[in-house]
A and B are shown apart, each in its own frame.
Chain A
Amino acid sequence: EVQLVESGGGLVQPGRSLKLSCLASGFTFSNYGMNWIRQAPGKGLEWVASISSSSSYIYYADTVKGRFTISRDNAKNTLYLQMTSLRSEDTALYYCARRGYFDFWGPGTMVTVSS
């Protein structure tokens, strides 16, 4: 059974950093591209970043480019999102999702940016 479990969310002050993790199981993690998508409270879905299976290709939304870094450790079956210079508008539930058309999603981890 494919499982994705995000962690690392929490309350953080504006300007600070946070690192999210997504632990994958039930499939060969190293064979799949992965993604981060976020959802602000009561709002729709916003793609954040994508990384190819071997980390050769990485893409970011303009809203996070230069502040967020997506990475992965295939030996640990884990996807990461390093978030720096956090803003209030980054407050959201952050999901990881598998492959180019997001066939499986984790339950999400909440990030709240507030002083």
Chain B
Amino acid sequence: DIQMTQSPASLSASLEEIVTITCQASQDIGNWLSWYQQKPGKSPQLLIYGATSLADGVPSRFSGSRSGTQYSLKISRLQVEDIGIYYCLQAYSAPPTFGGGTKLELK
């Protein structure tokens, strides 16, 4: 199985700050990487698919990038509604595997 190592596990940031979360794949997954946001008590919401494509309705302050087998989610100017837990997912090969999650809090 492909392992997705997500970091950091938790992150405290200030409003308007730039936030970056990364996922390291244990092998090549191409662009088969998605990012999700989960707010408390809610189901996950797709933010980024294909490593860099913004899902419909997602604010443009969210962006995704890839460097080899390392993938990053960037929030350019943190807003209060961005608080939650973020997960990456590789869908390159079965079984699909999630990163462990990053809990994003306001400082």
Contact = CB atoms under 8 A, between A and B. Distances in A.
Given A45-B44, A102-B89, 14 more contacts: A44-B98, A45-B87, A45-B98, A95-B44, A100-B91, A100-B96, A101-B34, A101-B49, A102-B34, A102-B36, A102-B44, A102-B46, A106-B43, A107-B42
A interface, size bucket = 10 to 19
B94 A50 contact: yes
The 10 A-B pairs of least Cβ separation, nearest first, read A105-B43, A45-B98, A47-B96, A101-B34, A44-B101, A59-B94, A101-B91, A101-B49, A103-B46, A100-B91
Contacts of B99: 44
Interface string A73-115: 0000000000000000000000100001111111110000000
A103 B49 contact: yes
A70 B100 CA distance: 25
A61 B46 contact: no
Main secondary structure of the interface of B (DSSP, over half): loop
Interface of A: 35, 44-47, 50, 59, 61-62, 95, 100-108
A100 B36 CA distance: 14
Contacts, number: 52
Contact of B100 (A35, A44, A105): A44
Contacts of B101: 44-45
B83 interface: no
Contact of A47 (B32, B36, B98): B98
B55 interface: yes
Contact of B43 (A35, A46, A103, A108): A108
Contacts of B96: 35, 47, 50, 100, 102
Contact of A46 (B32, B94, B98): B98
